[in-house]
Structures are given as C-alpha cells and as structure tokens.
Structure 1
Amino acid sequence: MHAESKESLYERTDKLRKLNNEALNVYCGIKENSDNPPDFYEDVKPFADKVKACADKWKPLAEQWVVEDRPPYFYLKQIEDTHENLLISSVLAFQTDTKEKRFREMIQSIDYILSGIKNVLNE
C-alpha cells in the first residue's frame, strides 16, 4: 500500500475514533437528559450522516490495507463488522432505550479495532 494511502487510512481511522468517542458522549448525555429527546433532523441525522461519510471512505482503504499488507490479527471481516457497528452506534447513541452494556461493548469493540489499526500503521 502506498505511503499516502496509509497516511489517509491513519487520518480516517483517527477521525472515526473521535466520532466513536463522540457517540459515547452523546449516549451519556441522552441518558442523563432523557426528558429532552434529540430531534431527528437536527441531531441524529447530521451525526449519523457524518459518521457514514467518514466510515464509507475508510472502509475501502482499510480493506485494501488488509489485503495488500496482511497485518497480523486483522481480517476483512473485522473491517466489515467495524464499519457496520459504526453506522449502528451513530444512531443508537441517540436512543433512550439503548441498552447501556451492549452499547458500551460495541463502542469498545470499534475502538479496539481502530486503535489496533493506528498502532500497526505507526510501526
């Protein structure tokens, strides 16, 4: 994989980690302030669209990296699952009935993969 593609993958991975953390912060805020639900068009959709746009650009780069560089412990299925989980968590973060344990585990799972990718790219 070209150096500039790796740099782009690193930047997008970093951005997704921040958005993933933002989803967790949103979720915690919604839990604390459950009597004031978020507006779908003002809050939920813009955030979900931002995550989707970033994740959709990240996925082919990450897949190319896995195929070409064959990093240890990273597989195409993980990239696919992480992409899907990012899209799901960006919406679940705004729902007051989201189960906390499951949501936090999803956030941790996403972060584990994204952190791992960043660490390998840093080597």
Structure 2
Amino acid sequence: MLHIQAFLEKTKQMIEAAEKGAARYEDGKENDRSYDFFATIKPAVEQNEELVSQWTENALEFIKIHRPKYIYEEQIHAVKENFLEIMLQSYVHHIHKKRYKDLTESVLYTLQTVKDEIAKEGSL
C-alpha cells in the first residue's frame, strides 16, 4: 500500500541528500579532502542504498497507480543508479566534474518532477 505522505518525505530526503552530496563533492574537489572508507563512506552509502531502495519501490507503485504523464519506469531505475553513483562519488571524487554535475542535475530534475506529481495527486 502506497502512503503518499511517506513517499513525499522520502523524495524530499533524496533531494536533500543529492544537494548535500553535490556540496560535499565540490568541497572535496576544491580542498582535496579525503574520507575514511569504513568510518564515513560505507555507512553513508548503505544508508542511501536503503533510502533509494524504498523510494524506488514507492515510485514504481506510484507510477502504476497514478500513471503520471511525464514519469516513466526507466527514469526511476536511472535515478536509483545515478543517485547511488553521485552519493559514492561525493566522497571519492573519481569522476569528472562535468559528469558529476550532469548526473546530479538529472537526478534532481526527476526527483523534483516526482515531488510535483505527488503534490498534484495529493491535492486531488
């Protein structure tokens, strides 16, 4: 059973995590910062994996029930994959700046579109 409010909260959490990740990536690139794998990176990635898995499940159910005009199953799977990539890369910086920016913008665009669709469905 899809709980719209919980799905909206997860979407907002993902937007916030992606924005924080982008800031961390910028800071790490500029200041040549490194993070401890076991103390910082692994727990953060695992936490984000849990969040994105729950969100993906909710998003696919939302699409099935509400059939939004501009959100497709392929986009949801792309967000899952790209979100995990940008979360990891925000710590390790093994990706070019332009690629990171493009992935982040893509994820944020889809998340914002989903958030808008949830709000639209919630107001009906």
The two structures share one fold, judged by TM-score above 0.5: yes
Give 1:75 shift: 0.5
Equivalent position of 1:8 in the other structure:
6
| Pairwise CA RMSD | 1.3
Task: After TM superposition, give the deviation of residue 120 of structure 1 in Å.
Answer: 1.3
Name the amino acid aligned to 1:93. Answer: S
Deviation of the 1:56 alpha carbon: 0.8
Give the TM-score taking structure 2 as reference length: 0.90
Would you say 1:66 and 2:63 are equivalent positions?
yes
- Structure 1 position 47, deviation (Å): 1.5
Deviation string for 1:50-92 (max 9, x for gaps)? 2111101111100000111100111111001101111111111
Residue 92 of structure 2 aligns to a residue whose secondary structure is: coil
Q: Distance in 2 between matches of 1:46 and 1:18?
A: 17
Q: Secondary structure at the match of 2:93?
A: coil
Query: What is the alpha-carbon distance in structure 1 between the residues aligned to residue 118 and residue 73 of structure 2?
Result: 16
Query: Percent of aligned positions with the same letter in both sequences?
Result: 23
Determine the C-alpha separation between the residues in 1 that align with 2:31 and 2:103.
22
Unpaired segments ≥5 residues, structure 1: none
Shift, 1:93, TM fit: 1.2
AA aligned opposite 1:26: R
Indicate the residue corresponding to 2:28 in structure 1: 30
Provide the aligned length of Structure 1 versus Structure 2: 120
Report what 1:20 is aligned to.
Answer: 18
Choose from 36, 41, 46 the match for 2:38. Answer: 41
- Equivalents in 2 of 1:111, 1:7: separation in Å? 19
Give 2:29's aligned amino acid.
Answer: K
Which runs of no fewer than 5 residues in structure 2 stay unpaired?
A: none
Q: Which residue of 1 aligns with 2:110?
A: 113
List structure 1 segments (4+ residues) > 6 angstroms apart after TM superposition. Answer: none
Indicate the SS of the match to 2:91. Answer: coil
TM-score for both structures, normalised by structure 1: 0.91
Match of 2:82 in 1: 85
Offset of residue 97 of structure 1: 3.3
